[in-house]
Structure 1
Amino acid sequence: MIDKTLKHWRFRVFTLTWLAYAGFYFCRKNFSVTMPIIIDELGYTKNDMAIVLTIYSFTYMVGQFISGYMSDRLGPRLIVTIGLSIAVVANFTMGMTGSLLAFAFLMGANGFGQSTGWSGLIKNMTPWYMPNERGVVMSWWSTCYVIGAFLATIFATYWATNEYIFAELGWKRAYIMPALVLAVITILYGLFVRNRPPDVGLPVLVKEAGENNATQTKSEQYDIIKGLIVKSELWIAAFIYFVLKLTRYVFLFWLPMYMVEALDYSNQDSGYLSSVYELVGFFGVIAAGYISDHLMKSKRFPVVAVMLFLMAILCFVQPIIATWGMLAIGINIGLIGIMTYGPDSILCGATAMDIGGKKGAATAAGIINGVGSAGQLLSPFIAAYFSETLGWNALFYGFVVLAVIGGFLAVSKWKFATHVEVNEELIIKE
């Protein structure tokens, strides 16, 4: 049985960090919803939008490496609060402009602010949970970006398309309103979260040598980095995440466009139907965590491999299913969501924790997410190129190839697992 004080703080940290990352999506997913509307109303092209998304992805990618290092060194509470604040300001300002240049600059700032989220919040969660709990705990926690993306899509679609509340602002409401939501979350996170158990008078939960301070010196951080970069598991996870993030961000930002152009759905129908990807993807996140902890004894890579091979099959049949109607499309897109979000969540969550340990969790998460973000960086141009020249169906066949490559990389680390010593002070014997 866990000590009551620790249980209270676990709940508090879990809830606030979950809200923080879900909140980031309110100021991220809105661009995909408004993109077809902006193209139609302002006369921009898909290549213009691809450039804006590439700038966002570039600053997000670079920021991942910087933010992971800074969160390990200075603590996640400070770094994530700064990132949340940047995202709020950038999105609110986007709701005041229609200039392509302004979009590019503000999405770049938004990307840098958003980059603090994952590595920082993984760092925030790591000291509060033991390694044999992480698969299940992080599967539930990782629903933040699945549910966050789903709710953000619905929220942005409502504000971008409804004709009743502040109708004169049109699509700009899809930036202003999410910014207000994230502003509230920023205040809650900054005021009420704490970095680790010793910050609230509790002993260290997981014993690791040299764990004396809330922050780390430069020499300590360099030693951690040197220890991490020689781990083959880190780079295998990072390259698989490259594949996953490229795929996921094409779906996140271009799925509404695919439905408008290839399937001839309305902006409203496309916005709502595309949210099925995140809604059903939720179950993949939960399944991956439970399977890795309870069936695979905290091995993460077998789960990644199987789900990626299943995703390859689902993407292969999507062009056929696209002719069967909206219900069939929704089911297949939802299943693809399960097979995308399952390995995605386990790699950038529990796997990063396992590889980096308590002292290097943010750095490991930053490297995995940073390499993955290179895939995100390429995704706008790949989506634009395929849709314009080869057709949308060819894009799905490209996903088949990527998923198979990622699956075989995961097979190469099938047996990897981590084991550390647990502090018994916070376990009450009954």
Structure 2
Amino acid sequence: MAWPDNFQRGTLMSRFSHHHVVVFLLTFLSYSLFHASRKTFSNVKVSISKQWTPTAFNKSAELPVEIWNSSHLFPSAEGATLFLGTLDTIFLFSYAVGLFISGIIADRLNLRYVLSFGMCSSALVVFVFGTVTEWLHFYNKWFYCFLWTINGLLQSTGWPCVVAVMGNWFGKAGRGVIFGLWSACASVGNILGAVLASSVLQFGYEYAFLVTASVQFAGGVVIFFGLLVSPEEIGLPGVEAEKPCEEDTHRPLMNGAENEDEYEPNYSIQDRGAAVPQVKAISFGQACCLPGVVPYSLAYACLKLVNYSFFFWLPFYLSKNFKWKEAEADQLSIWYDVGGIIGGTLQGFISDLLQKRAPVLALSLLLATGSLVGYSRSPDNKSINALLMAVTGFFIGGPSNMISSAISADLGRQELVRGSSEALATVTGIVDGTGSIGAAAGQYLVSLIQDKLGWMWVFYFFILMTSCTIVFILPLVVREIRQLVQRRQTPTASD
């Protein structure tokens, strides 16, 4: 296989200034903090369940009887577990709805303002949800549902904004490896949330929410004063003005056209009649009609269900299934995210070499089904469990990171929307929003399946959803493999 010019000549890194590095780090930090606050909730589920359930453990709490009785939200641990799953579902449904809205808003307002507002306001809601209610001993199911709905809407501002900013600064050249490495921000946030939560959990779960909310609020302030949303803000050329390194640089890697010969590089959704076209955000309907958006959105709905189920339920599963301490389960769950970081970066690099994304995704997902079978049969051994967990994260978290970052940027920057720099957030919102709808439905199903059938059937459910992901991208896989074969058989035009 020919080594791409960008990697051969070292031109990829030479095109980046210190501004690119700062943008990379700030957007990475921003979404890491979003995920850290989300991870806190999953890491303290056992403690919350004990607080809400009248068990012998709870009766030892040093609280007046009347206050203690008021915290009895559920008669059993099963009821508390089901409500925790309901909260996950509420969060993800509101998050999904918010993504469709936030993507449109972010393409029409300053990305920095939207992102910093989302970070600071979400931090305040998390603080009220986990800390204020516990300090005041105020326990109310409807209030928790209301707060988590608002939190989902506010958190939805994060991903469309950071992907759009990254897409403004980093072009197609090397996007797979750059975005693969950058998309580790979610996994790093999970690790950060797990470490922060486990470090203060001994003092009470309310302090886990306090710490992560405080850090996230501070991060929002840093974003407001420090983030540059595009190179044009400081007089640098945008990615669309860069000279392509090879003749098909602007072709989308997913290539939604049925025939490459039918591809019209001069067509644009934007009106190209004027000499200086007015930059304008595309509509929601136009974004949905872009090649590749619908199949990848449906595929991500299935894959994000599995990925977020590990995100929300893995510490709870380890604590309940193996009877490990909650803090130990929190720390062990980090290995799933480590696998996702490595998987997203390596698979992004390979897709850059192939200049195709779908075949890499399909192979990883095929191997993911096997890793799910292996992890479901993990013995009661922390080392073996961590290894199998990392492998599972590699094959599930890696493709999930690719779809939500590099592929979303490819879809929002393809030739059909050339001339509209305000398409990235809308497309990203559609892909991630559809994924979050699937993830939202999955969280309630996970708690229901676990309660009725047990954890083994939960893993069977994960295998089914992973297989559905492959089915949705299968036409793209077949097309891109055919193109790779044709490209390999076509002689170079040097003679």
Q: Is TM-score (shorter-chain normalized) higher than 0.5?
A: yes
Answer yes or no: is 1:88 the counterpart of 2:123: yes
The partner residue of 1:253 within 306, 312, 317 is: 312
Q: Which amino acid aligns with 1:304?
A: L
**Residues in 2 aligned to 1:118 and 1:3: alpha-carbon distance in whole angstroms:** 25
The partner residue of 2:157 within 116, 119, 136 is: 116
Cα-Cα RMSD = 2.4
Contact in 1 for aligned 2:318/2:329 (Cα 8 Å): yes
1:313 aligned residue:
370
Consecutive unaligned residues in structure 1, runs of 5 or more: 162-166, 419-430
Contact in 2 for aligned 1:6/1:202 (Cα 8 Å): no
The partner residue of 2:91 within 33, 52, 56 is: 56
**Residues in 2 aligned to 1:416 and 1:36: alpha-carbon distance in whole angstroms:** 46
The partner residue of 2:183 within 129, 134, 142 is: 142
Contact in 1 for aligned 2:100/2:429 (Cα 8 Å): yes
Q: Which amino acid aligns with 1:134?
A: R
Answer yes or no: is 1:412 the counterpart of 2:485: no
**Residues in 1 aligned to 2:23 and 2:271: alpha-carbon distance in whole angstroms:** 24
Contact in 1 for aligned 2:39/2:193 (Cα 8 Å): yes
**Residues in 2 aligned to 1:5 and 1:265: alpha-carbon distance in whole angstroms:** 49
What per-residue deviation string (whole Å, max 9, x for no partner) do you get for residues 156-176 of structure 1? Answer: 122223xxxxx3xx1100111
What per-residue deviation string (whole Å, max 9, x for no partner) do you get for residues 123-168 of structure 1? Answer: 111111111221111011111111111121121122223xxxxx3x
Contact in 2 for aligned 1:26/1:149 (Cα 8 Å): yes
1:273 aligned residue:
332
The partner residue of 2:148 within 100, 107, 130 is: 107
**Residues in 1 aligned to 2:93 and 2:285: alpha-carbon distance in whole angstroms:** 25
Contact in 2 for aligned 1:85/1:113 (Cα 8 Å): no
Structural mapping, 1:169-184, within 5 Å: 170-184=204-218
The partner residue of 2:19 within 9, 31, 56 is: 9
**Residues in 1 aligned to 2:44 and 2:376: alpha-carbon distance in whole angstroms:** 25
The partner residue of 2:405 within 349, 353, 363 is: 349
Q: Which amino acid aligns with 2:425?
A: A
Q: Which amino acid aligns with 1:363?
A: T
CA drift at 1:231: 3.2
CA drift at 1:221: 2.7
**Residues in 2 aligned to 1:86 and 1:210: alpha-carbon distance in whole angstroms:** 38
What per-residue deviation string (whole Å, max 9, x for no partner) do you get for residues 10-65 of structure 1? Answer: 11111111100001112111000111111012214111112222221121010000
The partner residue of 1:152 within 174, 189, 193 is: 193
Structural mapping, 1:279-290, within 5 Å: 279-290=338-349
Identity %: 26
Q: Which amino acid aligns with 1:411?
A: L
**Residues in 2 aligned to 1:305 and 1:4: alpha-carbon distance in whole angstroms:** 32
CA drift at 1:359: 3.3
Answer yes or no: is 1:243 the counterpart of 2:253: no
Answer yes or no: is 1:391 the counterpart of 2:454: yes
What per-residue deviation string (whole Å, max 9, x for no partner) do you get for residues 355-388 of structure 1? Answer: 1114311111100000000112112211111111
1:221 aligned residue:
282
Answer yes or no: is 1:66 the counterpart of 2:122: no
**Residues in 1 aligned to 2:373 and 2:457: alpha-carbon distance in whole angstroms:** 10
Between 3-12 and 267-276, the greater mean CA deviation after superposition: 3-12
Contact in 2 for aligned 1:73/1:216 (Cα 8 Å): no
Q: Give the structure with the larger helix fraction.
A: 1
Q: Which amino acid aligns with 1:265?
A: W
Q: Which amino acid aligns with 1:401?
A: L
The partner residue of 1:230 within 271, 289, 293 is: 289
**Residues in 2 aligned to 1:226 and 1:268: alpha-carbon distance in whole angstroms:** 46
1:374 aligned residue:
437
In structure 2, do the counterparts of structure 1 residues 2 and 143 end up closer, same or farther at CA, with 3 Å as the change threshold? closer
- Normalising by structure 1, we get a TM-score of 0.88
What per-residue deviation string (whole Å, max 9, x for no partner) do you get for residues 262-289 of structure 1? Answer: 2222212211111211122211111121
The partner residue of 1:361 within 419, 424, 435 is: 424
**Residues in 1 aligned to 2:206 and 2:456: alpha-carbon distance in whole angstroms:** 32
Q: Which amino acid aligns with 1:293?
A: D
2:3 aligned residue:
none
Q: Which amino acid aligns with 1:287?
A: L
**Residues in 2 aligned to 1:2 and 1:327: alpha-carbon distance in whole angstroms:** 39
SS of residue paired to 1:74: coil
CA drift at 1:2: 7.7
- Normalising by structure 2, we get a TM-score of 0.77
Answer yes or no: is 1:339 the counterpart of 2:395: yes
2:256 aligned residue:
none
**Residues in 2 aligned to 1:385 and 1:24: alpha-carbon distance in whole angstroms:** 27
**Residues in 2 aligned to 1:174 and 1:92: alpha-carbon distance in whole angstroms:** 10
